[in-house]
Amino acid sequence: MARSLFLRVLVFCGVLLGGVRGKTTTATTPSYTSVPVYPAPLGGRNSQDNDWLDAYDKARAFVTELTLLEKINLTTGTGWEMGPCVGNTGTIPRLGFTSLCLQDSPTGVRYADYNSLFPAGLATAATFNKELMYQRGQALGKEFLAKGANAILGPAVGPMGRTPEGGRNWETFGPEPYLQGIAGALSVLGIQDQGVMATAKHFLLYEQEHFRQVAEFQGFGWSSIEAPYSSNVDDRTLHEVYAWPFADMIRAGVASVMCSYNMANNSQACQNSYLLNRVLKDELGFQGFVMSDWGGQRSGVASALAGLDMTMPGDGLSWADDNPLWGPQLALSVLNGSVPIWRLDDMATRIMAAYYKVGQDQLTIEPNFQSWSFDTYGAVYPRSYDTPYATINKHVNARSALSSNVTATIATESMVLLKNNGGLPLQAYGSLALLGSAAGPPPLGPNGCENLECNNGTLGMGWGSGTANYPYLVTPLEAINAKVRANSMSLAYNLDDDDLDGCASTAENMDAAIVFITSDSGECLASVEGNIGDRNDLYAWHSGDDLVKAVAAVNTNTIVVVETVGAIDMEAWIENENVTAVLYAIVAGQDVGTGIAEILFGDSSPSGKLPFTVAKNTTDYPASVAYTMSSTSPQINYTEGIFIDYKHFDKNDITPRYEFGYGLSYTTFEISDVSAEVVDSANISTYADTAPAYLDAEYYNETYLPSSNSLIYPDDIPRYEYFIYPYLTVKQALNVYYNDNAYPYPNGYSTEQASSPSPSGGASGGNPALWDVLATVSASVSNTGSVYGGEVVQLYISYPTVTDIDFPIRSLRGFEKVFLDAGDSATVGFNLTRRDLSYWDVITSDWVLPSGEFGVYVGNSSRNAVNTASFEL
């Protein structure tokens, strides 16, 4: 299996990603363009970032000792499948510094064994439980560390989920920027507390799979595509929606940020100087390193100048082409003066600062697995015909008690009960029928399809690189069967989705009939049942609507379980009186069946809430995936601006089927005593006080540029075919001349570092004053029902009126999950920061605090939150 996996990846990528060059560009002139911003800010200059400043001291002490080639080795991957991990940097043998291992994915250690497959980001969001968000990060961190990975390629907070069909929406925490920010930051803290570097991705505006890479979509038949899609978005939306969660993760100290495949305003995200130099490294004060998505780097010099710090997997414009854009080319770019040496120094320093920031100098990190094979002994560099052989897999069991607890707890707490007319919890007697293939095991086993690129049997995860192998998969059938035996009940089932008559007759005369339907999506590595990553529509797969209708026609207690990557259209049967309950199981991971059974049988009261809106009609959403292209460089204009998901429904007065934040329980809660007040000492000026000036720019010894001859391949190191080394060929070394004026620099190019951050910047995450607490809100919550349960108390605010500024009717600005015994109550408190109450002003490029009355809505969904208080600024 492992070997075929390796071959398939290779062949597949070769086909899809080859032939990218040599096209003449006749693309229609794009009307959105990105502003050039240079130079790339040097790291280590934020006077208030003490953790980072310590890390920079150590990083500078290390980097100052490095030769040019050693620095290059830190920045460039060794090539696809040229090392144990999906990304491997070069090494510094002279100092005993080993390769950095960068490994997928946000849901577990990919391409490994004895790892967990955690509930996905969207399931984690559905718990609305901050402690679990942190613990999941910790558990992930422990597993990556146990496998010897330096960095986890996650958490993902982009895509935001602008379109409900977006293929990778489930990898992230849903279309509410505030929720993405909290969940992303807590994940980062959990991961990095274990000593593993977290990677915030994908930066930025990567909202759909269609047309994300040119050669890939030529491979899917769009032969005329010449550029990936461009996400065109206004500056306010960019800051308030898409960059927002990155700010929280950067404030939490995230080590790395991954730039994405798409373009933004017609400039490739990995060489977009506005996004990287301005937004990320200046405004958001990011101190770690920017790594490219795999193949996301589209230029050498331009990406270096625009702020890229590490290229992965090291290959060039097409996969495994042995023609890197950096490596020796970066050395040449420095020697010929096109890339200033300080830029390379900054790349290396940023990478090492991140390494010290999470304390990796105190750890021994050696990968003990191999992504390309499960064999114990095998090829170290599987792409290379002259690869050495060694022990490549130690089969280390990375799982911990914490992992098991987190996977099971999130699987249960993420279940969202949407409808319940008495169907649930199940009575612990009588007869049950389970209908539909999604109740049972995948015929080929949990890992029967590579990267989970299929939807057969129980669906616990979407597909693509955001997955890992299942260590096991608890199906609903298995978990329910156990409860049936324990309660002396009886169970029948029919797992054939197409056998409507058979399913109906199995369901007839049963005390309850539970129908399992699915909806899947993933990364466009593969087209699954005709869906190229993005979902083609929001209907249940495998004619799920027909199955529900057939069963509901004969059983008055039909319960529908939806195993899904997001919202589905349920209008065909949602109001059917025989459908007595509907439960969403959102990408819940290896323990999905356990979670479903816990809720169905009432062992746990459901406490998950929708982290997205379920519409009555797909056309009710503000935007849809662009499935076709009308230009050789597809343009996607985000004309809905900040109004995505519930903010769009609220603004346009569209009644959703189930709103954001909604979810039922087996008990009842009452929220009362809402009060809000402005903090006494709050500085309520329109603009925050600006952060202190940058610390002085520190440069290394700039007079030092080695002679090109000294960078030629040495004779005494092993040279494996396809391995990306930093060295020059003799020919390259003979033909390099220094001229720091010769490169056609973009307009606005400068090498002069700013002395102060831009107004919204100044520290990791942005101006620290943005996190000043200006107002507080408190509320009481009581469990007025008869069983123990959890409630998510949600705080939404409305803004004062400001001329020419359109605000959402309600914006989520706080949530706390509280578990209470029947009859108990608790008080919850919320802090509202300057950032929470501000909007992005496109004229001054800064956050503005409006003055006037802010409305305070506290409740248990975005539409069941009553305006019970207000405060004036």
Q: For residues 130 and 178, give the distance between their C-alpha atoms in angstroms, rounded to a whole number.
A: 13
Paired residues of 560 in beta bridges: 515, 582
451 vs 783 by CB, closer to ligand NAG:
451
As measured in angstroms, the least distance from the Cβ of 186 to ligand NAG is 12
As measured in angstroms, the least distance from the Cβ of 606 to ligand NAG is 15
Q: For residues 43 and 41, give the distance between their C-alpha atoms in angstroms, rounded to a whole number.
A: 6
Burial bucket for residue 628 (CB in 10 Å: 0-12, 13-18, 19+): exposed
Indicate which residue of 248, 282, 293, 321 is catalytic.
293
As measured in angstroms, the least distance from the Cβ of 478 to ligand NAG is 16
78 vs 465 by CB, closer to ligand NAG:
78
Looking only at the bridges linking them, the beta strands covering 267-268 and 263-264 are antiparallel
364 vs 703 by CB, closer to ligand NAG:
703
Helix (H) or strand (E) holding 87: strand 87-88
356 and 59 Cβ atoms separated by less than 8 Å: yes
Contacts of 282 (CB under 8 A, 6+ apart): 37, 41, 754, 757, 758, 761
User: Strand runs (DSSP E) across 368-520, as ranges?
Assistant: 377-379, 389-391, 416-420, 431-435, 490-494, 512-519
Q: What is the DSSP string of 185-245?
A: HHHHHHHHTTT-EEEEEEES----STTSSHHHHHHTT-TT--S--EEE--HHHIIIIISHH
As measured in angstroms, the least distance from the Cβ of 408 to ligand NAG is 4
As measured in angstroms, the least distance from the Cβ of 40 to ligand NAG is 16
Directed axis angle between helix 50-63 and helix 341-357, to 10°? 120
Q: How far is CA 400 from CA 102, 116, 142, 195, 406, in A?
A: 21, 9, 8, 16, 10
357 vs 565 by CB, closer to ligand NAG:
565
* Interface contacts to ligand NAG, rule CB under 6 A: 31-32, 34-35, 69-70, 73, 78, 90-93, 232, 234-235, 238, 264-265, 272, 274-275, 300-301, 329, 332-333, 336, 338, 405, 408-409, 443-444, 454, 456, 528-529, 552-556, 571, 576-578, 617, 619, 635, 637, 701, 703-704, 717, 725-726, 742-743, 773, 829-831
Q: For residues 117 and 126, give the distance between their C-alpha atoms in angstroms, rounded to a whole number.
A: 17
Paired residues of 856 in beta bridges: 797, 869
Q: How far is CA 850 from CA 383, 801, 813, 836, in A?
A: 58, 8, 16, 11
Please count the other Cβ atoms lying within 10 Å of the Cβ belonging to residue 801.
10
Q: What is the DSSP string of 628-648?
A: S-SSSS-EEE-TTTT--THHH
As measured in angstroms, the least distance from the Cβ of 348 to ligand NAG is 12
569 vs 659 by CB, closer to ligand NAG:
569
Q: How far is CA 7 from CA 53, 448, 466, in A?
A: 45, 16, 20
As measured in angstroms, the least distance from the Cβ of 631 to ligand NAG is 7
Active site residue 293: yes
Q: For residues 613 and 599, give the distance between their C-alpha atoms in angstroms, rounded to a whole number.
A: 22
338 vs 349 by CB, closer to ligand NAG:
338
35 vs 390 by CB, closer to ligand NAG:
35
As measured in angstroms, the least distance from the Cβ of 693 to ligand NAG is 25
Q: How far is CA 270 from CA 216, 257, 290, 303, 308, in A?
A: 18, 11, 9, 6, 6
As measured in angstroms, the least distance from the Cβ of 326 to ligand NAG is 9
293 vs 357 by CB, closer to ligand NAG:
293
278 vs 357 by CB, closer to ligand NAG:
278
Residue 694 per-residue DSSP state: P
Angle, CA 518 vertex, CA 135 and CA 408 arms, to 5°: 25
Q: What six digits make up the tokens of 106? A: 């946000």
Active-site residue set: 293
